[in-house]
Amino acid sequence: MGKTILVTGAAGFIGFHLSRSLLAQGHTILGFDGLTPYYDPALKRIRLSILEQQTGFRFIEGRLEDAATLSRVMDAHRPDMVVHLAGQPGVRYSIEAPASYVEANLVGTGNLLEAIRAHPVEHLLFASTSSVYGGNARMPFAETDPADHPLSLYAATKKAGEAMVHSYAHLYAIPSTCLRFFTVYGPYGRPDMALMIFAKAMLEGRSFDVFGHGEMRRDFTYVDDLVDAMSRLLAVIPQQGRAVEGDSLSPVAPFRIVNIGGGQPTPLMDFIAALEAGLGVVPKFNMVPMQLGDVRATEADTALLRRLIGETKTTPIAEGVRHFADWFRAYHASAGRPA
């Protein structure tokens, strides 16, 4: 039997793909999104228009910072589960506009937790990031590793969000799973993401900057693989005292942290080469130093994820980038209309 699931950030990149998948599985989705202008809301509206064509989707426009609206939504709809994806993303933008991260990621998450406290749910999934591993030198990053040295305010707010979720899990017995995402890419991605920036520049015949002189490595995760793992984790509800091998389960709360990544870091230049093959365009780029707040490499230890849900989907980089390139060509040619 399908669940009623509140998805915050439903018009965002990951929220869109997750909502579409859950709808196809027979769930009812309450999509909550502020359609904020961090990037052109036109892309969010394109995603939203696709979701609104599916049975079982209801959209509620609102901001996380608006506690009263969140409370009314929870009171009126009583969702079975909540997937909290909304917030202010981006490592680099957190240097330019720190207040927006405090408001959305801290105040907004706090407001949502209060609304859930008043109307408990079966399971809360909270979107975190591999950026919380910060200055950790040991790789692959494991959920049980310390994550005490964030290199950006974005990472710091996400780490704080994890701590806030843990406290509510402990105080009010709210089963919660924090998901640390590793460089997600795919169709309908955010315009500030590297793949979108590179592809746009290539199709327009412009050069683009490659940070870290092209020496960075990332654990790229195709969005369909991420969504598959998230959908399956919804049913894996943390229970205090019922840990698996290598678990991050809290000793004092029904709370767990899980990495979702490909488990195979890819050199940035190989990623660009895959995009060149997908678009059929030779890139022009400028090698530039690392940006403030960035890390040189990421790699996910996905052993816990596999213990919890079994074997995971892992789309090869060439295939995933080709899917993205096919979508982006149509999207770019239509000047941002649905593709």
Per DSSP, which regions of the chain are E strands? 4-8, 28-33, 57-61, 81-84, 123-129, 176-181, 184-185, 207-210, 217-218, 221-222, 255-260, 266-267, 284-287
* CA atoms of 322 and 298, how far apart (whole Å): 22
Per the CB < 8 A criterion, the answer to whether 223 and 21 are in contact is no
Short-list 235, 236, 125, CA closest to 181: 125
* CA atoms of 291 and 131, how far apart (whole Å): 14
53: Cβ contacts below 8 Å, ≥ 6 apart: none
Instruction: Classify the phi-psi angles of 115: left when phi > 0, otherwise alpha if psi is within -120 to 50, otherwise beta.
Output: alpha
Query: How many of the other CB atoms lie within 10 Å of CB of 151?
Result: 17
* CA atoms of 106 and 155, how far apart (whole Å): 12
Query: How many of the other CB atoms lie within 10 Å of CB of 136?
Result: 16
**Looking at residue 129, what DSSP letter applies?**
E
Active site amino acids: 154
